[in-house]
Structure 1
Amino acid sequence: MKIDLNADIGEGFGRWMIADDAALMTVISSANIACGFHAGDHLIMDRVVRAAKERGVAIGAHPGLPDRMGFGRRTMVVSAEEMEAMLAYQIGALRGIAARHGLRVGHVSYHAAFGTMANADQDLADRLARVIAQIDPSLVMLAMEGQPIDLAARKAGLRVRSLFLADRAYQANGALVPRGLEGAVIHDLDKVKERVKTFLETGKVITIEGKGLAIRSRSILVHSDTPGSDKLAQAIASQIDAMGGEVSACAEG
């Protein structure tokens, strides 16, 4: 059983770093690299791509809204045309840096409010998915199953890698518990390991309401800005190993 362990990474700016990217890189199989809007800059992107090449980690673009103060977690009043351009700009920036190191960008994973806005508007999600397909139809979309981003990617002819968010609480309808609400982000390592164990054994996660929710996924996401994200990733990797699995960048599914 191969499980992709991916993390949003490179989410600092200049001398300020939000997570231990080097430690995360020793554990994960795929890196969702911030592209300079909500976080990241040209030097950080270059360093993360170089590290990914050294570690054999697959790389993808992690585009967000241009809101460093709010870390891309605040929705913005912008047109669909502007979001399309933002998306193309950020993917293009990472593709340029990746090419310099002989790598290719293989996937796209929206950050925070960028994804929230797409998931709230199927037409917007469709338009953004078409942008990705126009840039490179072989790009894989990372998304939560059944959400508008997932549906849009499939309509655009993109492959999709469905995600399980190990450090976020789910609602019974399959959506995440909004940040800011109690229990939305899970910090306890033992609880995260138990969630991963349940997910790998049963294909389900226990929702905030205490219900079992089926999730079809072979990819687990860790948010780098969750305190102790490197320890969280290590705990997840150890749980995968303990159950006979292997952390590996895998195909869609």
Structure 2
Amino acid sequence: MNENNEFLVSTEWLEKSLNNPDICIVDCDPYDAFGRAHILGAVGIKVHHYIKHPDYSKSPKEYPWVAEPDVAKEIFEDMGIGDTTTVVAYDSNGGLWAARFWWVLNYYGHSDVKVLDGGWKKWFDEQRPISNEHKKNHLAEFTPKANLDLICTLDQGISNVQNKNVTFVDVRSDGEWDGSNSRGNKRVGHVPGAIHVEWTNFLKEDKYQTFKSKDEIQKILDINAITPEQEIVTY
């Protein structure tokens, strides 16, 4: 999906926009990777890149939620993200972490955020500007407005397993879906009745893992009977 749209931007577009003070480029890879090299002018994520509770890494089971509003506000403002900032997120992992950052910002009411199609790998191979310096961020004011409709709690999930108007979509790997890969979890398998579409199916099979076209993605959704009339819960 090469064209710029509501959710994606191209490497060509971003290079032309590097000097735009209203754009904040966010490297969503682990912070040590950001320190080695990143897109010129980008900022890194100093905390866990899923933007979880500060103690998530110490105890994931006890702190599974996204960071609280006051914590998110501090994180985003420290990165130079304000209420009117256009954010472009990227990573070197097929857009997985950038998409997570996109979701967290949308959860907190900031919809002006894009994902760089092709991410760091495409940018680097095209020899576009990079740096290993840490820039001084702009002063910013971020107002978190949590949208609880974007989260499904465990209790909500359990109560809706039999609801025909709710569709659970399991986007994990085949091994996680069928239970052959526990990834260290005590229980394996999937939510009863869930549809399995691994997230990588929406990406092209090239070294940059750019997104498939709108028509290709729609075909995947149609084949799996995933429609906008349903309430979709992904995991």
What is the TM-score of this pair, normalised by structure 1?
0.30
Higher relative CO (CA 8 A, sep ≥ 6), structure 1 or 2? 1
